[in-house]
Amino acid sequence: MKDFIYINEYIFPVKIAITPEEQSYGLMNCKEPMIMAFPGKKQIKNFWMKDTILPLDLIFACDGVITDRQKGVPYSLENITSPHSSDLVVEFPEGVLDHFPISLGDKIHIKYSIKTVAKKYDYNLYKKGML
């Protein structure tokens, strides 16, 4: 079973970065959409594009609502900062979102796979290779 992100009526298969290691690696050297979920951690998020080979469109969200969209330039060390507290960031290859009418204020939610749920709720077992 895969993980999915729902934005309005649109469904996108995604890779979810739950662990701190996954979140720090992000989409570096990767080509599929990725979600960085920070459950219970609403705060200003900062990213850079070091070692990220593709230009990205980033969506920032909080409490299931899209609050900002920004562009990421490959290999840039410039900070990409959310203007508002976020608990969810979605990275898409640049241009994907141009095909969908997605705007600030739209609803967004995640459907987690069983493996992701297990990783999310029992990170210690995951880290030990038991999941």
CA distance 53 to 30: 8
**Digit-coded pLDDT (tens) for 109-119:** 988 887 777 77
Q: What is the mean pLDDT of residues 4-30?
A: 77
Residue 108 Ramachandran class (φ > 0 left, ψ -120 to 50 alpha, else beta):
beta
Per-residue confidence (pLDDT) for residue 48, from 0 to 100: 86
pLDDT value for 46: 86
Cα three-residue angle 21-27-33, rounded to 5 degrees: 115
Q: For 25-81, how does the pLDDT look when each residue is reduced to its tens digit (9 = 90+)?
A: 665 556 565 666 666 678 898 888 888 888 999 999 999 999 999 999 999 999 999
Q: How far is the C-alpha of 13 from the C-alpha of 32, rounded, in Å?
A: 9
Cβ atoms of residues 17 and 88 within 8 Å: no
Is CATH 3.30.70.640 the right assignment for the domain spanning 3-126? no
Query: Helix or strand or coil: residue 31?
Result: coil
In the structure encoding, which two tokens stand for residue 123, read together? 């990170």
Rounded to an integer, what distance in angstroms lies between the CA atom of residue 52 and that of residue 76? 8
The model scores a pTM over 0.85: no
Residue 50 has a pLDDT of 85
Report DSSP letters for 34-60, one per residue.
EEEE-TT--B--EE--TT--S-EEEEE
Q: What are 96-111's pLDDT values in tens digits? A: 889 999 999 999 998 8
Query: Where along the chain do its domains lie?
Result: 3-126
Query: Does the pLDDT at position 125 exceed 70?
Result: no
